[in-house]
Structure 1
Amino acid sequence: MNDNMNPILYQNRELSWLKFNLRVLEQACDGSIPLLERLKFLSIFGSNLDEFFMIRVGTLTDASLLDPDAIDNKSLMSPAEQLEAIFADTRALIEKKDAAYKRLSADMAGEGIEHLDLSMLTEEQTVFLENYFRGEILPMLSPQIIDKHHPFPFLRNKETYICTQLKTKGEFVKLAIIPVSTGFDRIVYLPFDKNKFVLLEELVLRYCEHIFQGYVVVAKTIFRVTRNADINVDEAMYDHDMDYRSVMEEMVKNRRKLMPVRIEFQGEASEAIIDQLCKKLELTRDRVFFNLSPLDMGFGFALCSKMERRGLPGLFYPPLTPQDSSLVTPGRPMIPQIEDHDILLSYPFESMKPFISLLLEAADDPTVLSIKMTLYRVARESQIVSALIKAAENGKEVHVVVELRARFDEENNIIWSKRLEEAGVNVVYGLGEYKVHSKLLVITRRVEEKICFITQIGTGNYNESTARLYTDLCLMTADREFGEDGTRIFNGILTGNPVGDTKYLVAAPVSMKPMVLRFIEQEIIAAREGRPAAITVKINSLTDKDVIDKLIEASMAGVKIRMIIRGICCLRVGVPGHTDNIEVVSIVGRFLEHSRIYVFGTPERSRMYISSADFMTRNMERRVEVAAPIRDEKLKARIMNLLDLEFSDNVKAKRLLSDGEYEPVKNDKPPIDSQIDLFKLAYMRAEESARVRASRPVQPVMRPAQPQAAPAAPAAPRRGLWDKIRALFHK
C-alpha cells in the first residue's frame, strides 16, 4: 500500500509519548482532583520525564553518533531530527510544569501547607533556618573546588548539586560543587509550624557563602545531570566470562556512570557556570534546560505521606478498597472453585487475595507436582515470592523465570532471584535475546493418577502494590488445553527455544503478531463482503508499523475500529479515506490503565483475548508474551461491559484528533468516570454476593457428644448498598 507511506498517517513514537506525559501533567492542573493528589501527578510527570531522557533520549543519542542517517520507519525522522523535536517539546512541557507548580503552591498555601520563599522569610523563620543550616547541614556537606589540584568530580545521575562561582582577593575565579542529595532529609519543616517547609537544596543555595571561607560567591545555582541508562545487556555478555546475574549486577553499577544526556538548572545560572559545566560534561547547549520549580519533584510523594499521616482527608482521594470478587466464595479453597468455573479478577477494583490464596494453597496441596511461573516486576515485600519459596521448601518442583532486565527493577529482581535459589527454586533468567514479559502461571497436579492443570494468565505484573494502582485482568482456569499450552511455553523458555505450536494460548515472539494480523485480515474480508466488521482493542501503546498498516487497510475497507490507548499512538486517526473509521481514546485518571484486551469481530462472532503485550514491535518480536482467549461467555460479556464503559467515559477520557493532539471527550450525557464507576460496580457486586450468601441456609454441624449451642444473636442489619456507596464516593 504505497498510500500508507504518506507521513500524515503516522506520528513519531517519542513525540507521542511526550503528549502522553502532557496528559499526566494536565491532571496536576485539574481543579476537580483533590489538592495533594494533584501534587502526586506532578511528581509522576517528573519521574516519567526523567526515565524518558534516560532511556529514549539516551538511545537516540547513541543512534545519532553511531547511525546518524537511520530514519524512523513511521515519521521518517533521523535521530538528530527527533532529538531536536524532543528538546523543543520538552521546553514547552517545563513551562507548563512550572506554571502548574506555581498554582499548586498557591493552593497549598491556602490550606496552610506552604513551600516558603527564602527571600520572604519572617525573622523567626530566618533565625531557625540559618541555625539549622549551620548546625545540621553544614557539618555534613562535602564541597569541592575545581582547580588543578581538585579535578572535576563525577556527577551522579539525577542527584542534586549546587554550583558556585568563587572569586578570591587576587581576582581568580573558580567553580565549586556541593552535593546535596546524599544523607539528608530533603524536606526541612519548621518546628513551630510543621506545615511550612523549604527544600534542602534551596537552603544550601541560600547559605552557601558560609561554606567557602576566604572566597566571594559571585554566582550560584542549583543543577542536576541526567545520564543515559540504556545499556545493551547482550553486548555486555560478550565482554564477561561470568553468569548472567553477575553481568546484570555489573550492568546496574555501570548504568550510573554512562554519558550525560541532559543538564537542568533551577532558576538563573551564570554564563560562566553553564559554559564550564557543559564543557566538563561534553554537553551542547541544546541539552540545557531551565526550570523555575524544583528539579526533582519526587519530594511530592514524601510531602503527601507526611500530610496524610497528619489527617487531612479533604486533600486526598477518598480511600477505595479492592473488593472480594463475586466469582469467588470466601473461605473456600481456590482450586475447587477454579475447577468449577473460570475466574476473572479485575484489579484494582477487585482484590488480588484469591490469586495469592491459590499460590499458598498450591504450596501445601499434596496433589501439586510442580509450579511454573514468570516474574517480571514484584513487590519489595512479596507474598507471591514467599508462597513460591514455601512451595519449594515443601518439596514441590518450582521453576521461576525471573526477568533480570525489567528496567529499573533489576536490583529488586536480583535480590529475589537469590532468595528463590537459596530455597531450592530452579531460577532461569529469561530466554536469551528475548525478554520474558509474559504473566503466566501453570500449576501441575496429579489427581487419582490423572494429570490436571490450573493456569493463570494476566495482563499485569505479580505485584501486590501495583495491583492496587494499575487496572489489570487476571484469568484463572482449569482448562486442560490451556495448561498443556502453558507447559509448552515454559518448556520453550527452559530449553531456550520459543514456541509457537500452541492450540489456544498465543505466544510472542513466534505466533502473536501473525495472529493479530490474521484476525485483522479476517475483518477486512468480512467488510469487503458487505458484512459487519469490527475491532476493539485496549493497549498501552501502538507503535508496530505492520500492525498500524493493517489497521489502516482495515479502516479503508470499512472495518469499525475502536481503541483505548493510554500512552503512545503512532497512528493518525480521522484522515479522510484512510483512518476515518478509527477512534482512539486515552484515559489518564486515578489509576494507571494497564490491561491489554483484543476483540476481533462483531459481538455475535467475536474472538476476545487478554494479553501481556502491547502492539509494539518489541512486544511482538523481541519478547516472550502470552495472550489467552476468553472462552466463557459470561466473562466475555463482563469484559465487553468494561470496554463499553471506558468508551463512554466523558470525565477522564481524551480523544485523539487527526493532527495528533488530544481533546477532552465532552457530551451532554451524565458524567461517567469509568474508573470510579468500575469501583462502584465492584462494591455493588461484592454487596450482592454477600447478601446472597447470607440468605442461603446453613446446614448445622451435629455434635452428639455436646449440648446444642444457643442460637446466635441476629446479625446487625447491613447498611443499605446505595447509602454505603454514596457515602464512599461522596455522591
Structure 2
Amino acid sequence: MIKKTSNFSYINRELSWLQFNERVLQEASDENVPLIERLRFLGIFSNNLDEFFKVRYATVKRIDEAGKEGKSQLGGIRASELLEIITQTVIKKQAESLKILNNIQQKLKSENIFIITEKQISNTQKSFIKNYFIQHVSPALVTIILNEDAAIPNLKDSAAYLAINMSLENGEHQYALIEISKNMDRFVELPEENGKQSIIILDDLLRFCLDDIFNIFEYNSISAHMIKITRDAELDLESDLSKSFMEKISNSVKDRQDGQPVRFVYDKSIDKHTLDFLMDKMSIESSDSIIPGGRYHNRRDYMNFPSLGRTDLLYDKITALPVKNLGLENSIFKAISKKDYLQYTPYHTFAYIVKFLREAALDPQVKSIKITIYRLAQISHVASSLINAAINGKKVTVSMEIQARFDEQANIEYAEQMQREGIQLIFGVQGLKVHSKMCVIEREEGPKLVRYGFISTGNFNESTAKIYTDYTLFTSNQKILKDVNKVFNFFSVNYKMYRYKHIITSPHYTQNAFFNLINKEIKNKKEGKPAYIRLKMNSISSYKMIDKLYEASNAGVKIQMIVRGICCLIPGVKGMSENIEVVSIIDKFLEHTRLYVFCNNNDEKVYISSADWMTRNIDNRVEVSCPIYDASIKEELIDTFNICWNDNVKARIIDAKQKNIYKRNDKEKVRAQFATYDYYKNKLNEC
C-alpha cells in the first residue's frame, strides 16, 4: 500500500516491511518448497512479526502517544492512522498464515506425518505422554493462579500462556495461566505407530494433562486458550553516571519485561468472560493492538520444527566450498600477501575467518589484533580465537557492540569473558552503533609492521554464516588497511575527524561519497557516456538517498536494485523513477550482502559494505564500505549480481502496486541461490 501526498513520493517504511514479511509468507505457501521447510518459513514469518511489534510498531505508538502526527517520519501518514492500518493488515495476514498452516498439515498427512491434538491421542500414546509430562514437563512448569483481588504478575514479553478457566462446583470461576516455557521442546515426537509419525504440540500435551495439573480443584469443566503479549523493546538507558555502560545496558534489557504492551494476541474461540477478565487484569486498552488469532501462538517455534529424519521434505544440504586457491591447510597470511581473496558464505566455508584468527593467535610475529563484533554465535570459535591470542601475549582490541538488538545479553556475557582474559574492550561511540564488520592485524616482518585483515558485509558468526549470504574480502592492501586502522583509532578518540582515502565510512562520509558516485553517473549520461548503477542491499529508507536515485533516473541513468526487505523507493513511475527497477529475492538463504556498482564510464567502481541505505546506517552508525581493486574479484562480484538479477524463480517485482508478483519470463530458469553455488563449484574446476 502506498500513501502519497503532495510532499511524499515514498512507500511507508512500516508498510513496506509488512510487504517483505508477506514475501516470507509466500515461501510458506509455495508448494515447490519442501513441506518441513514451509513450516519453518511460517516460523520465520511469525518471528519477524514479533520483532516488528516490539520495535517498529512500538516506535509508532510512542509517536502517537506523544501527541505527534509523525508525518515526516512516517511517509506522510499520521501515526494513529498507521497503527490502524498495521493492525488490520496483520489480522489479515495472520488469518492467511493459519490457512497455509492447515494446508501444510494436510499435506503432511499424505506423508504419514500427523500433528495431533489432545483429542486424537491413541491408547498406546497415552502412557508415553503421561510419562513425558511427569519426567520433562511438570518439574519445569510455571502455573499462576489468578483471583479477583490480587494483581496479575508481569507476563513475559512474547511468551505464550494457556489461559485456564475452571468452572467450579460452587458456581464460581477460577482462572489460571500456564506459561509455555521456551526451555522445553514445543514439538514432542511420539513413538511411531503402523508407519505413522505423530507429533503433539506442547500446548496440547498440557491440555491433555490439565487434570493432573489442577487436581486440587473441584471443577465441573475446564478450558484452555492461548494468549500472548508483546512489549515495547526499545532500550531506555539510565542516566546514573555511577553505573558502567554494560550495567546500564544489562538493566535496560531486564526492563524490557516491564515494557509497555504493544500487542495482545488471543485465541479467537476464548469465551468473552475470560477475555474480559484477563484484559482488565493486564490493563489492556481497546486502543492497543488486539489481534484475534488461532489455537496456537508463538508460531516462531516452527523455525525449529523437527526434521523427523525426512530429508526428502527438506532442502538438500550444500557442502560449503573452499575459496579457489586459498587452502585452509596453508598459511592464510602468506596467501593474501600475494593477492586479495573473496569469501562468499554460505557458498564458501566460514572457516577462513576462524583460520585467519587462529593463525594470528599462534604466529609469534603477530603483535596486535583489532576486530569489531556485532553478533556472535552461541558457541563462538571467533571469540575463543581472540581469547587464545590474548593468552599468547597479543594485544587484542575488540569493539563490542553490546546494543545489538536482542543480542545484548549474549554480547555482555562474551564481553565480560574477554575482559577477564585481558582483551581490551571498546564499547562503541557515544550515540552511534558500531555496525561495521572488519578486522586488522599487525605482523612484524623485518624492520616494519605489515597489516593483514578482512572486511565483511555480515557478522562474524558461525551459525548465521550457514544461512546468511555475505561477502568477506581478505586483503593485505596496506592503503585500505591503513584506513581501517583509522576507524579503530576513531573508536578511541572519537572527537577527532579522520580522513579516509579508500574506504567510505559512516556517519561522516557515506551519504556524500555515494552522492558523488551517483553524480558522476548523471554527468556521464548527460555527456553521452555509458552510465548505470547496480545496487544490492537489505533495505532502503533514506529519503535523501532515494531522492538522489530519482534524480539519476530522471537524467536517464539505468538503475537495477535488489532489495530484500524495506524499500521506500517507488520504482517505475513516469517522470520520477521510470529508469529504476527493483526486485526482491526470498529463498533458502537470507540475502544479506550489500554490493554497490557504478559504471564509471565502463571502468566500474565496486564496493562491498556493512551499510544499507537507511538513515540509521548513514547517520547513526559506524559503517564501512570497502572498494574492490582486484580485477578478478570485481568480475566475480558483478557476475554474482547478474545471477541474482536474472533470477526468474524466486525474485519478486517491487513496484507501486506492492503485489509481490514473481518475476517471470521466457528465458531459461535461473534460481539465483542455486545458480550461485553452481557458479562457484564450476570456478573450482577452471584452470
TM-score under structure 1 length normalisation? 0.88
In the aligned structure 2, how far is the partner of 1:10 from the partner of 1:266?
36
CA distance in 1, matches of 2:459, 2:25: 25
> 2:301 matched to which residue of 1?
299
Secondary structure at the counterpart of residue 674 of structure 2: helix
Deviations 1:330-382 (A, max 9, x none): 43211121110111111111112222222111222232221111000111121
Instruction: Map 1:196-235 onto structure 2 (within 5 A).
Output: 196-208=198-210, 211=214, 213-217=217-221, 220-232=224-236
Please tell me whether the aligned partners of residues 322 and 348 of structure 1 are also in contact (alpha carbons under 8 angstroms). yes
Spell out, residue by residue over 1:539-592, the C-alpha distance to the aligned partner (whole angstroms, 9 max, x if none). 000000100111111111111111000000001111111111000010001111
Residues 3-34 of structure 1: CA distance to partner in whole angstroms, max 9, x if unpaired? x9746731011111111111111111111111
- 1:437 matched to 2:441? The reply is no
- The alpha-carbon deviation at position 513 of structure 1 amounts to 1.3
Q: In structure 2, give the amino acid aligned to 1:289.
A: I
> Does the 8 A contact of 1:167 with 1:174 survive in 2?
yes
C-alpha deviation, 1:461, in angstroms = 0.6
CA contact under 8 A between 1:574 and 1:582: conserved in structure 2? yes
1:101 corresponds to which letter in structure 2?
L
Residue range with higher mean Cα deviation, 363-372 or 632-641: 363-372
Q: 2:407 aligns with which of 390, 409, 412?
A: 409
Distance 2:295 2:684 in 1: 44
**Alignment correspondent of 2:311:** 313
Task: Supply the distance in 2 between the matched residues of 1:329 and 1:197 (Cα, whole angstroms).
Answer: 45
Change (3 A) 1:131 1:370: closer
What amino acid sits opposite 1:278 in the alignment? M
Task: Write the deviation string for residues 54-97 of structure 1: whole angstroms up to 9, x where unpaired.
Answer: 11112222222124322244621122222111111101110111
1:639-698 residue CA offsets vs partner (Å, 9 max, x unmatched): 00011111000111111122233210101111101111111122222344xxx6xxxxxx
Quick one: distance in 1 between partners of 2:183 and 2:517? 56
Contact 1:57 1:83 in 2 (8 A): yes
Aligned to 2:653: 655
Paired AA for residue 516 in structure 1: F
1:508-657 pair list within 5 angstroms: 508-602=506-600, 604-657=602-655
Residues 454 and 479 in structure 1, CA contact (< 8 A), matched pair in contact too: yes
Q: Is the 8 Å Cα contact of residues 523 and 533 (structure 1) preserved in structure 2?
A: yes
Match of 2:91 in 1: 91
Question: Does the C-alpha gap of structure 1 residues 206 and 329 become closer, same or farther in structure 2, counting only changes over 3 Å?
Answer: closer
Contact 2:168 / 2:221 at 8 angstroms: preserved in 1?
no
**1:148–1:662: structure 2 CA closer, same or farther, 3 Å change rule?**
closer
Could you tell me whether the CA contact under 8 Å between 1:224 and 1:295 is conserved in 2? yes
Partner of 1:269: 270
Is the Cα contact below 8 Å between 1:68 and 1:80 reproduced in 2?
Answer: no
Which residue in 2 is equivalent to 1:238?
239
Contact 1:382 1:464 in 2 (8 A): yes
Map of 1:483 onto structure 2: 481
2:27 equivalent in structure 1: 27
1:107 match:
107
Q: Contact 2:161 / 2:227 at 8 angstroms: preserved in 1?
A: yes
**Greater mean deviation of Cα atoms: 356-365 or 588-597:** 356-365
Q: CA deviation at 1:304?
A: 2.3
**Structure 2 contact 537–594 (Cα < 8 Å) conserved:** yes
Shift in Å, 1:126: 5.8
Secondary structure in structure 2 of the residue aligned to 1:683: helix
Cα displacement string for residues 414-436 of structure 1 (whole angstroms, at most 9, x for unaligned residues): 11111211111101111111000
Q: Aligned partners of 1:547 and 1:330: how far apart in 2?
A: 41
Shift of 1:246: 1.2
Counting matched residue pairs gives 679
- Structure 1 distance, partners of 2:401, 2:441, is 20
Match of 1:249 in 2: 250
- Matched to 1:579, the amino acid is S
Q: Secondary structure at the match of 1:660?
A: coil
Give the letter for the 2:190 counterpart. Answer: L
Amino acid at match of 1:157: D
Q: Contact 2:44/2:303 (CA < 8 Å) preserved in 1?
A: no
Cα distance in 2 for partners of 1:548, 1:457 equals 26
Aligned residues of 2:520 and 2:600 also touching (Cα < 8 A): no
Q: Structure 2: which 5+ residue stretches go unaligned? A: none
Aligned equivalent of 1:675, options 648, 673, 676: 673
Kept in 1, the 8 Å contact 2:5–2:76? The answer is no
Measured at CA, do residues 192 and 668 of structure 1 come closer, stay the same or move farther in structure 2, by a change above 3 Å? Answer: closer
Partner of 2:348: 350
**Aligned counterparts of 1:520 and 1:138: Cα–Cα separation in 2:** 62
Residue 679 of structure 1 aligns with an amino acid whose one-letter code is: Y
Deviates more, 1:439-448 or 1:149-158: 149-158
Q: Distance in 2 between matches of 1:141 and 1:392?
A: 43
Please say if residues 437 and 459 of structure 2, whose CA atoms lie closer than 8 Å, have aligned partners that are also in contact.
Answer: yes
The worse-fitting range, judged by mean Cα deviation, of 544-553 and 57-66 is: 57-66
The answer to whether the Cα contact below 8 Å between 1:98 and 1:293 also exists between their aligned partners in 2 is no
- The separation in 1 between residues aligned to 2:339 and 2:561, in whole angstroms, is 30
Change (3 A) 1:71 1:42: same
Distance, in Å, in 1 between the alignment partners of 2:138 and 2:600 is 69
Query: 2:304 & 2:653 partners in 1: Cα distance?
Result: 33
Does the 8 Å contact 2:188/2:200 carry over to 1? yes
2:470 to 454, 469, 472: 472
The answer on 1:47 being equivalent to 2:32 is no
**Identity over aligned pairs, percent:** 33
Deviates more, 1:511-520 or 1:444-453: 444-453
Q: Which has the larger radius of gyration?
A: 1
Alignment check: 8 A CA contact 2:322 2:349 kept: yes
Give 1:406 shift: 0.7
Gaps of at least 5 residues in structure 1 are: 693-731
| Deviation, structure 1 residue 148 | 4.8
Question: Distance in 2 between the 1:224 and 1:368 partners?
Answer: 52
Residue of structure 2 equivalent to 1:386: 384
Partner of 1:423: 421
After TM superposition, give the deviation of residue 223 of structure 1 in Å: 1.1
**Alpha-carbon spacing, 1:152–1:217, altered in 2? closer, same or farther (3 Å):** farther
Q: Does residue 359 of the first structure (1) align with residue 357 of the second (2)?
A: yes
For 1:453, what is the secondary structure of its paired residue?
strand
Note if contact 1:657-1:663 (Cα within 8 Å) is conserved in structure 2. Answer: no
* CA spacing shift, 1:271–1:364, aligned 2, 3 Å: same
TM-score by length of 2: 0.94
Aligned AA (2:68): P
The answer (yes or no) to whether the contact 2:154–2:257 under 8 Å persists in 1 is no
Q: CA RMSD in A?
A: 2.3
- Further displaced range: 459-468 or 115-124: 115-124
Amino acid at match of 1:79: A
Distance of 2:174 and 2:311 partners within structure 1:
50
Shift of 1:203: 3.1
